[in-house]
Amino acid sequence: MPFPNRRTDRPGTTRRLRLKDYDYSTPGYYFVTICAHDRLHYLGSIAHDVLSPTPVGSMIGKTIEDCQSRFPTVSIDSSVVMPNHVHLLIGLAIRLNDQPHADNLIDIVHWLKSTTHQRYREGIRKHGWTPYSRMVWQEGYHDHIVRNDQELETLRAYIASNVERWGEDEFYDGYVDWR
């Protein structure tokens, strides 16, 4: 079942996803969720509280690790690849030697989405991965600016327990066969 698209279902309306006038290169932590297109389950499956990533899900996990070498001020604090979405806790310029405002969240997420899309296409050609349907990722992404240490700890715990809580997850909608 496709999810409603604000552009086609309600023309003339848009929803601003980024905080207005906020500088997304500001040092600190950001919690990011990126959803698969139509929330299809092509990144893995979960059974008995264990995630079994597909080759695509494994590639995405590796690409997340690559962010830290691509962007010098980025620290991936924690992340989880779920069957139809990804959660990341990204630190920007949080180390003493990091240059503030060198990288920004918008460029990082854009790089992550476009690089995984490119690597997925390559996996289809070279390794026979199941082709995706139209797009790999939904438009945009969800972000949250982490405001204090308590919130940071809560988000770390959320990511660490996400697989075990899959049946309660807002992105869980039962298994969707996308092939």
- What values do phi and psi take at 72, rounded to 5? -65, -25
Q: Of 109, 103, 99, 98, nearest to 144 (Cα)?
A: 109
7 domain residue, yes or no: no
Asked if residues 43 and 57 have their Cβ atoms less than 8 Å apart, the reply is: yes
178 domain residue, yes or no: no
Structural domain for 45, as ranges: 24-164
177 domain residue, yes or no: no
pLDDT per residue as tens, the chain (179 positions): 343 444 455 454 444 455 677 899 999 999 999 999 988 888 999 999 999 999 999 999 999 999 999 999 999 999 999 999 999 999 999 999 999 999 999 999 999 999 999 999 999 999 999 898 889 999 999 999 999 999 999 999 999 999 999 877 666 665 544 44
Q: Of 133, 154, 141, 123, nearest to 56 (Cα)?
A: 123
Report the domain count for the chain: 1
85 domain residue, yes or no: yes
DSSP state of 89: E
Both tokens of 129, joined, read: 């991965």
- What's the whole-model pTM score? 0.85
88 domain residue, yes or no: yes
Asked if residues 34 and 112 have their Cβ atoms less than 8 Å apart, the reply is: yes
109 domain residue, yes or no: yes
Domain holding 57: CATH number? 3.30.70.1290
Pairwise CA distance, residues 140 & 77, whole Å: 21
18 domain residue, yes or no: no
65 domain residue, yes or no: yes
